[in-house]
Structure 1
Amino acid sequence: MKIIELEPGDPRLISDLLPVLQELRPHLTEESFREVYEEGHGQGLRFSAAYSDEGRCVGAAGWRIVVNTSTLRSLYVDDLVTAATARSTGVGRELLAHLQERAREAGCHHFVLDSATHRTDAHRFYLRERMAIAAFHFMKPLD
């Protein structure tokens, strides 16, 4: 498996990464994804893609380095998804290891992600990977 960072404008963002990301974020269109990455890149948003030995994109992660009063400096994962056809093959574990190494290289104190309450399979995975449930994430739609 090979994990690479995809920069804005890289055609693999749309051809390879987006279809995998849409398994987690089905509301994303090509246009909305481009808009999010164009604006988000300036805020530190990055995307990593995991490729199988056959050259297929089998995992995707959106992440950023954040500095705040809670965790000081951390790597925050916006999106982490393994293609349905590649689940339970080690892709998620490899992506987590890759991102945690990036966090260490960036001098981060913590590795943070949110997982929707209905994603119980993901929760089991994160707990197996020795992650702790440290907070609740509250959200309110604005009119």
Structure 2
Amino acid sequence: MRVSTEKIIELTTTVQWKDAFPIMKQLRSDLVEGTYLDLLNEMKEDGYRLFALFADNNIVALAGLSLRVNFYSKRHVFIYDLVTDASHRSRGYGERLLKYIHNWAIENGAEYVALESGVQRIDAHRFYEEKFNYDKWCFSFRKNL
């Protein structure tokens, strides 16, 4: 029986970001690689960090986040992107990556982990609420300009 080797690391190089792009595109389908890299470089300047869970040396899940401070969530981690590769879903990778992020948040003095999820993503909502006891506590709005 073959044992899978797993590791979670922060992706910090352009080569690593390019390797992650096909999985990120599954969540952010409107992105092309050039725009993804341009935005990622700009977001990194604002504190964005991209973590990957590897299984057998392949990226199977990603989490993009920032450590933030505001009046209502105090010091917190905001998860902008959380995606598991479609061919690797329902194997616990997303759960393991999210637990890692929770621990990382605690180690970095965060009081909360917050995220937004599209209203149509019912399965994701169930995952956050039932597996992790996330509270659905606000609505998020935006306006095209």
Question: Following the alignment from structure 2 to structure 1, what is the Cα–Cα distance between the partners of residues 137 and 39?
Answer: 27
* 2:51 counterpart (44, 48, 54): 48
User: In 1, Cα distance between the equivalents of 2:61 and 2:91?
Assistant: 11
| Residues 1:38 and 2:17 aligned together | no
Shift in Å, 1:126: 0.6
CA distance in 2, matches of 1:61, 1:134: 22
RMSD over equivalenced CA pairs, Å: 0.9
* CA displacement 1:104-128 (0-9 Å, x = unmatched): 0110110000000000110111112
Which residue matches 1:57? 59
- Which of 13, 16, 40 is the equivalent residue of 2:17? 13
Asked if 1:89 corresponds to 2:91, the answer is: yes
Note the C-alpha offset of 1:10: 3.6
Tell whether 2:69 aligns with 1:67. Answer: yes
Deviations 1:54-79 (A, max 9, x none): 21111011100011111111000000
Aligned length: 139
Match of 1:108 among 107, 110, 135: 110
> Tell me, what secondary structure is at the counterpart of 1:80?
strand
Shift of 1:132: 1.0
CA distance in 2, matches of 1:50, 1:57: 6
Between the aligned partners of 1:23 and 1:10, the Cα distance in structure 2 is 19
Unpaired runs of 5+ in structure 2?
1-5
- What SS does the aligned partner of 1:97 have? helix
TM superposition score normalised by structure 1: 0.94
Report runs of 4+ in structure 1 exceeding 2 Å deviation. Answer: none
Offset of residue 140 of structure 1: 0.8
* Among candidates 8, 24, 36, match of residue 3 of structure 1: 8
Gaps of 5+ in 1: none
CA distance in 1, matches of 2:129, 2:73: 20
